[in-house]
Structure 1
Amino acid sequence: MPGLLLDTLNGKRGASVPLWLMRQAGRYLPEYRALRAEKGGFLDMAYDSEAACEVTLQPIERFGFDGAILFSDILIVPHALGQHLEFLAGEGPKLSPRLLDAALDDLTRDPSRYEPIYGTVRRCRERMPEGVTMLGFAGSPWTVATYMIAGEGSRDQHDARALAYRDPGALQAILDAIVDETTKYLSGQIEAGAEAVQLFDSWAGSLAPDEFERWVVAPNAAIVAALKARHPQTPVIGFPKGSGEKLPAYARETGVDAIGVDETLDPDWVARQLPAGMPVQGNLDPLLLLAGSEALEMRVRAILEAFADRPHVFNLGHGIDRRTPIAHVHRLIDTVRGWKG
């Protein structure tokens, strides 16, 4: 039976609002920290299907969320495309060779990198409580390209943005490869049991409007169209973080079924600007959840009221902060569950 979250993503407004949190499987949970100390580094855990499934299900067992998000990383695709991937303590992910110095065609692809991820999805679906939706995900092409080009994350995505102006054909070739690979990867997740998938475009906000159309909207639209041809019943959530006033165009033009909203946008504005009836996801500031206080409950209620007339999945505006107290998460859940719209 479809759960509340899946029904909502399919456009049904229920009597209650489903809830899950981006990065809900991770470092804020003591059980995650204990398992990681036992198993080793982040990447080792992501490629260990049994461990990754355990991490995926930890927040479901503790909080009873309506969706379980696959424990993995957006950089699995560059790893499969042939870049070396490592996570360095205190520095974040590193990819080599970076595409500023090497050609994509010179890399040796290894699609077997996806198999442990599919194994995680299959294990989780077997163990998932009834009514909980299994969510897969991938990084959107622009965001993934920024890491592949620079070899690491950056504050302003300078290298990728400069390449877009200097040699748009080169960037287009990289994005085309990522589109094809991401389509196959998400399709594999769906075939393994993912009931909905999310495209994370964490760096969409760094682009000017015309560049946004070319490097964010068009590649995401290509992925969504291909997925819809293969899996027409599987909802796709688009999350173009930082898109601002470009969000309505993204919602209209990419073909996504639901739209994720970051914390910088006024939910009342979003409710007015998005296509009628389109499911929306978001958009509590993760730092407000970290801080707690009466302001947390007030903001949660304001978001719920803003989206009361359309299908709404309650979530954060980005990933949960690793320092977030467990008690604050319980307070959030109680407020959402207790709201009477």
Structure 2
Amino acid sequence: MSGLLLRTLRGENASERPIWLMRQAGRYLPEYRALRAEKGGFLALVYDSDAAAEITLQPIRRFGFDGAILFSDILIVPYAMGQDLEFLVGEGPRLSPRLVDTALDGLRAAPERLEPIYATVAKVKAGLGAGRTLLGFAGSPWTVATYMVAGEGSRDQHVTRAMAYRDPKGFQAIIDAIVEVTVDYLAGQVRAGAEAVQLFDSWAGSLAPAEFERWVIAPNAAIVTRLKAHFPSLPVIGFPKGAGEKLPAYARETGVDALGLDETIDPFWAAKALPEGLPVQGNFDPLLIEAGGPEIDRQATRILDAFADRPHVFNLGHGIGQHTPIAHVEQLLAVVRGWRRP
């Protein structure tokens, strides 16, 4: 029998709620920090399939979450498209050459860089056990493009937004190329054992409405359509962070099976505004789980109650912070595990 998380993503509104946390495999866990100190830098861990599988499974062993999210990074796609990738301590990821300076066709594709990720998925699947769902993921084309164009992250994606206005045809070619690789990449994860996938659009909130339609909704719809052609029953979670009032249009037009909500979205508004019966995921504030206190119980219960009448996967509004105490995660987990739909 399928686990609670997978059933919920497929539309079942059970009396209890599944839970997993974005970035649950990572720096807040002492076992992760110990393994990283032993193995080396972030990219080295991602490409060590044994280590990456171990990291993916660590929060399952400690907390018993309903889903395991693959330990990897959204920038594996541009790395496979031929950009060089490095993670600088204290500065974050860097891609080169930047596509604001270099033509897309100047990159030499390296699809072999995806193979170790599939090996990780297979290892996790073998060790996950029954009743828990393995989640694959990729970055959505707009967010991936912001890094490919600028070579790094930014607060407002100025370089990429300006390029999209200045040269929409050239930028469309970048988006189309990302869609192609992303479909292949996610299909490879599914063949290796992923049972659901999430599309992370961390910078979706930086776009004006017309640009959101073109650079967020349209490419995500293309990915969903093409994945469904190969895997009709595969649940696809869309997470357009910062989309706000554009969420209902995203939900209707992309064809995603479930919608991730960030912490800025009022859950009672979302429960009324989003398509009836659509599973939702979220949207507890990552800073609150880090801060702790009785407000964890109150806010978690408020979210659970708001989504009582539709399928709901409890999660954070974005990734868990590296300074989050283990006890706070356990407190949140107890609230979710103790809640039942009225």
TM-score computed with the length of structure 1 as normaliser? 1.00
The separation in 2 between residues aligned to 1:158 and 1:297, in whole angstroms, is 39
Deviation at 1:14, TM superposition (A): 1.0
Q: Secondary structure at the match of 2:276?
A: coil
- 1:286: which partner in 2? 286
The separation in 2 between residues aligned to 1:51 and 1:13, in whole angstroms, is 35
Deviation at 1:129, TM superposition (A): 1.9
Give the letter aligned to residue 327 of structure 2.
Answer: A
Give the letter aligned to residue 245 of structure 1.
Answer: E
Once the two structures are superposed, what CA deviation does each residue of 1:169-202 show, in whole Å capped at 9, x if it has no partner?
Answer: 1110000000000000000000000000000000
Q: Map 1:235-246; keep pairs closer than 5 Å.
A: 235-246=235-246
- 2:85: which partner in 1? 85
Q: Secondary structure at the match of 1:313?
A: strand
- 1:323: which partner in 2? 323
The separation in 2 between residues aligned to 1:242 and 1:128, in whole angstroms, is 32
Q: Secondary structure at the match of 1:31?
A: helix
The separation in 1 between residues aligned to 2:340 and 2:308, in whole angstroms, is 10
Deviation at 1:89, TM superposition (A): 0.1
Deviation at 1:336, TM superposition (A): 0.4
TM-score computed with the length of structure 2 as normaliser? 0.99
The separation in 1 between residues aligned to 2:192 and 2:2, in whole angstroms, is 17
Deviation at 1:233, TM superposition (A): 1.0
The separation in 2 between residues aligned to 1:340 and 1:113, in whole angstroms, is 44
- 2:12: which partner in 1? 12
- 1:223: which partner in 2? 223
The separation in 2 between residues aligned to 1:41 and 1:243, in whole angstroms, is 33
Q: Secondary structure at the match of 2:245?
A: helix
Where structure 2 has 5 or more consecutive residues not aligned to the other structure, the ranges are none
Once the two structures are superposed, what CA deviation does each residue of 1:87-132 show, in whole Å capped at 9, x if it has no partner?
Answer: 0000000000000111111111100111000000000111112101
Q: Secondary structure at the match of 1:61?
A: helix
After superposition, the CA RMSD in angstroms is: 0.5
- 1:266: which partner in 2? 266
Deviation at 1:248, TM superposition (A): 0.5
Deviation at 1:340, TM superposition (A): 2.4
Q: Secondary structure at the match of 1:211?
A: helix
Once the two structures are superposed, what CA deviation does each residue of 1:225-246 show, in whole Å capped at 9, x if it has no partner?
Answer: 0000011111000000000000
Q: Secondary structure at the match of 1:126?
A: helix
Q: Secondary structure at the match of 1:323?
A: coil
- 2:131: which partner in 1? 131
Once the two structures are superposed, what CA deviation does each residue of 1:198-227 show, in whole Å capped at 9, x if it has no partner?
Answer: 000000000000100000000000000000
The separation in 2 between residues aligned to 1:114 and 1:181, in whole angstroms, is 10
Deviation at 1:299, TM superposition (A): 0.1
The separation in 2 between residues aligned to 1:217 and 1:340, in whole angstroms, is 34
Once the two structures are superposed, what CA deviation does each residue of 1:39-84 show, in whole Å capped at 9, x if it has no partner?
Answer: 0000000011100000000000000000000000000000000000
Q: Map 1:1-341; keep pairs closer than 5 Å.
A: 1-341=1-341
Deviation at 1:282, TM superposition (A): 0.2
Deviation at 1:15, TM superposition (A): 1.9
**Identical columns (%):** 71
Q: Secondary structure at the match of 1:205?
A: helix
Once the two structures are superposed, what CA deviation does each residue of 1:281-325 show, in whole Å capped at 9, x if it has no partner?
Answer: 000000000001111110000000000000000000000000000
Give the letter aligned to residue 195 of structure 2.
Answer: E
The separation in 1 between residues aligned to 2:319 and 2:237, in whole angstroms, is 15
Where structure 1 has 5 or more consecutive residues not aligned to the other structure, the ranges are none
The separation in 2 between residues aligned to 1:266 and 1:129, in whole angstroms, is 35
Give the letter aligned to residue 223 of structure 2.
Answer: I
The separation in 2 between residues aligned to 1:210 and 1:174, in whole angstroms, is 18
Q: Secondary structure at the match of 2:213?
A: helix
The separation in 2 between residues aligned to 1:177 and 1:47, in whole angstroms, is 23
The separation in 2 between residues aligned to 1:215 and 1:34, in whole angstroms, is 40
